[in-house]
Amino acid sequence: MHIMEGFLPGPWWYLWFVFSVPVVGYGLWRMKKVVEENPNVKILLALAGAFVFVLSSLKLPSVTGSCSHPTGTGLSVILFGPSVTALLSSIVLLYQALLLAHGGLTTWGANVASMGILGPLVGWLVFIASRKVNLNMNLAVFLTAAVADLATYVVTSIQLAVAFPAATGGVLTSFKAFFVIFAVTQVPLAIVEGLVTVVIFKYLVELRSDLLVHMNVIKPAEEVSTE
């Protein structure tokens, strides 16, 4: 998403801070609990954070003052759930804003809300639903990653629409305009992100299926099959 520095006016930029900070704080508490229960997950936390960083750093111009990019949050939300994903995303977004001129400090709360909280939350709900209906694991992973990506940009479009309502038609017209422009780049990016996430997840199953079973990410029967 990354609304660039200064692009989002008050009161919206600080209202998104108020929304995001408590969720990130809960994510920190949750991550500590996860590590205390199983210290072996540290390497998966590092991998999930790196995946978010690398994919979300690949930005493409979309709307003046903004950009489109993969989010990388699908893998994290599958492994650790939405709260830890919010924390990892917030760290990535802060690093990018400070050192890469990617995103911004004033828009950090809005970026965390869309890319780190609401987008992954929708993806996580898709993953839970997929598992309940015994959907093929690869398809479940693909849908989770792709939907988390697309949901991020739905939220981004809402954020921009409420901050910049159209003179004629208001917020709804503005939302449609922003989302249509985002969709041009984001739909193919979401598909690619879903496929890449499937490849990474299959590798993790092959490498550490025992840990994934312990974390209740996969079932024991899926240790030997990711077809």
Which amino acid, residue 101?
A
Identify the CA nearest to 62 among candidates 124, 109, 3: 3
What is the set of domains in the chain, with CATH numbers?
Answer: 12-223 (1.10.1760.20)
Tell me: pLDDT of 160 over 70.
Answer: yes
Decide if pLDDT at 41 tops 90: yes
Cβ-proximal residues to 169 (8 Å cutoff; 6+ apart), any chain:
none
Under 8 Å between Cβ of 161 and 7: no
What pLDDT is attached to residue 54? 92
* DSSP notation for the chain: --PPTT-SPTTHHHHHHHHHHHHHHHHHHHHHHHHHH-GGGHHHHHHHHHHHHHHHT--EE-STT-EE----HHHHHHHH-HHHHHHHHHHHHHHHHHHS--S-STTHHHHIIIIIIIHHHHHHHHHHHHHHTT--HHHHHHHHHHHHHHHHHHHHHHHHHHHS-BTTTHHHHHHHHHHHHHHHHHHHHHHHHHHHHHHHHHHHHHHHHHHHHHTTSS-GGGGS---
pLDDT (tens digit per residue) in 87-127: 999 999 999 888 876 777 888 999 999 999 999 999 999 99
How confident is the model over 171-182, as pLDDT tens digits?
A: 888 888 888 877
pLDDT per residue as tens digits for the range 57-81: 887 655 444 567 889 999 999 999 9
**Amino acid 55: pLDDT:** 92
Q: How far is CA 189 from the centre of its chain?
A: 13
